[in-house]
Amino acid sequence: MTGRRATALASLAAGLLAAGAAVGGMDGLDLRIGKALFDRAWIPAPASTRGDDGLGPLFDARSCAACHPRDGRAAVMFGKDGAIEGRGAVLVLARPDGSGDPVYGRRLQLDAVPGLIPEGILAVTDTPLPDGRTKRVPAPTHLAYGPLDPATGLSLRAAPDLRGRGLIDQVPESALLAVAAGQPAEVRGRIRHVALPDGTQGIGRYGWKASQPSLASQSSEAFFLDIGMSTPLHPEPWGDCTEAQIACRNAPQGREEEGGVEIPNQLLSRVVAYVASLPVPLAPKDTKGARLFAAAGCAACHQPSLPTQGGGAARLFTDLLLHDLGPGLADTLPEPGASAAEWRTAPLAGISEAIARDTGLLHDGRARSVAEAIAWHGGQAEGAAKRFSALPPREKAALIAYVSKL
């Protein structure tokens, strides 16, 4: 760690100690530093407080907490003009080979440091359907650098709940293989394998399409693409600025020395440790609801619990596998290893808070209720959706109440 950034971290640590921070274990100083870094609003370089600078030059949010309020799922809200309100979602850009748009990169960046122009406005077209559902299609406007490449696909994705997700790292591959083998053929999911920095293959575990192998790599990508700060895995100091965005690439950076990064491992590891320490949201016991959940076939993919290394359990209601959910939920962004209609089974743990805060459900926030989210399930999940729809009203209400308490 370079001198000024190390001094800034030491000052932060001293302040936390003065405030009574405990040292060691899950309540230790490192976790408190990690939370402070998670909540920190980063600022553009150059700045007198060098430990806080490096934002952008293009970015979607100034802090981790801006997209993950109270460590949970962000609200995906759009105004009457279709433009996004807040920072609840990002627009992912990619071509079929996995590369980003040649001009806009891998994200549509909604903000910029002084002197630069944001890439555009994130907007959607929402179309009410006769059955009460709402179809949502991303429709960005005011594109500052001209049109997107015709081959660029779009995928609107909400910032997910982080609580308990650190346990995903601890689920062994053998457990996922066993889950897949035990699923009926018509709903059987598959592991997504992704490239690791050393050139080998690993299991994709994190992200809406299981594109990241670990919490550390997911956090590193978020710093780089969403906040515009370089990390050891993404050392480019200009973030998501492409070669076509010359002014962006020439803007001041937060690196303190040639070859350095803005978020070194000493900082990133503390943020990762903080997120990994977040407990799984606990749901009240509901035996009848659990029985209905299993009978409808929901539990085949939304596995209530997965075993973790050391004999523990990740009670997240996911199988971490990719499933084809049909054309209704498909985006226009097929990527190497995942088709446009394939999604990693979303963990349901914590959905009660998302419902209470009306964040919207599914990957793009289109569903305003559990029933609407289920109705969007097609492809391999169509059978479960039909079984839910066929339930008597009282049992249907009981199943919705069960999911709504998770």
Residue 256: predicted pLDDT: 63
Which residue has 């997911």 as its token pair? 218
Which residue type does 321 have?
L
**Dist. CA 377–CA 363, nearest whole Å:** 12
Q: How high is the pLDDT of residue 52?
A: 76
* CB-CB neighbours of 121 under 10 Å: 17
Residue 154: which of 193, 116, 106 has the closest Cα?
106
pLDDT of 359 reads 96
Count CB neighbours of 24 within 10 A.
9
Instruction: State the Cα–Cα distance between residues 120 and 146, nearest whole angstrom.
Output: 10
Specify the pLDDT at position 17. 33
Helices (H), 204-281: 215-222, 246-249, 265-277
Residue 377, token pair as written in the block: 């399930």
Strand partners, 155: 92
Q: Would you kindly state where each structural domain of the chain is located, as residue ranges?
A: 1-160+228-271, 165-194+279-404
Q: Which of 34, 42, 59 is nearest to 224 (CA)?
A: 59
Tokens of 318: 């996911």
| Secondary structure (DSSP) of 324-389 | E--GGG--S--BTTB-TTEEEPPP-TTHHHHHHTT--BSTTS-BSSHHHHHHT--GGGHHHHHHHH
- Is residue 356 within 8 Å of 69, Cβ to Cβ? no
Give yes or no for a contact between 206 and 220, defined as CB atoms under 8 angstroms apart.
no
Q: In 3-state terms, what secondary structure has residue 49?
A: coil
pTM of the model: 0.91
Tokens of 156: 């609107």
Residue type, 155: S
What's the average pLDDT block by block, 10 residues per block, for the chain (406 residues)?
44 36 52 95 80 88 95 93 91 95 97 96 97 96 97 97 96 96 96 92 96 96 96 93 95 76 93 95 92 97 96 97 98 93 98 96 97 98 98 97 97
Biggest alpha carbon–alpha carbon distance for the chain: 66
Q: DSSP for 51-99, please give it.
A: GGB---SEES-SSHHHHSGGGSPPP-EE-TTSBEESSSEEEEEE-TTS-
